[in-house]
Amino acid sequence: MTAPPPNQVLLSWSGGKDAAWALHVLRQRGDVDVVGLLTTIVEGADRVSMQDIRVEVVHAQAASAGLPLIEMRVPRQPDNAVYGARLAEALQVARSRWPSLRTLAFGDLFLDDIRHWRMQQCARLGWEAAFPLFGRDTAALAREMQAGGLRAALCCVDTTQLDASFAGSDFDADLLAALPVQVDPCGERGEFHTCVLDGPMFAAPLMLARGPTVLREGRFACTDFLART
């Protein structure tokens, strides 16, 4: 009996470790085929929403992953109506390229309200939402990522939850040991966000230079990462 073709999947791509590891995990499965990445870019800033990663960096990540990147551009603080409309447009672009595509995957780990909201957004547009990492123990997952060769650095720190001095730090065993006990090892509650530099999902490491760290919105300590020339 001939096996059914793998289900095509579009992956929500932040440029951070969870999205990157979700790509790695999905590629280990035989029943899915990740065909592209979808990233949310803030209009006028040319940076990824929340992560604050430069758009050229996520394009470099996508190139190293061997996947096309679809940009979903939104205002800095879109309401649900605007976000939903932009998502519909971006998914239509994806569907025009891959007509059988119907699944959007996310790297979320344990926040049920976010998971439910994403499922609602997708269902409204006739799509399914998938969460390949959801429910994992985040301490074990962080160690798995590091042991598996993922290299990342903290690109954004919420200074109301974690000291600004952590911005720019490598996401490694020393970081996990230094994090305050109330901070999730993967930053799932928004304590920090990361920029992925290398890992098994990439053909080659990204050659990025750490730039300055600035405080945005009076709260977020963001370390810039720039492509080396």
Q: pLDDT grade, residue 77 (50/70/90)?
A: confident
* Residues whose CB falls within 8 Å of the CB of residue 224, separated by 6 or more in sequence, listed in order: 52, 54, 155, 210, 211, 212, 213, 214
Predicted confidence band of residue 69 (pLDDT cuts 50, 70, 90): very high
Q: Which residues of 167-203 are buried (b: 16+ CB within 10 A; e: fewer)?
A: bbbebeeebeeebeeebbbbbbebbbbbbbbbbebbe
**Structural domains for the chain:** 7-130 (3.40.50.620), 149-227 (no CATH)
> Which pLDDT band, with edges at 50, 70 and 90, does 60 fall under?
very high
* Count of alpha carbons within 13 angstroms of residue 12, beta-carbon side: 19
Nearest CA-CA partner of 219 in 18, 36, 50: 50
Residue 7 has pLDDT above 70, yes or no: yes
pTM of the model: 0.96
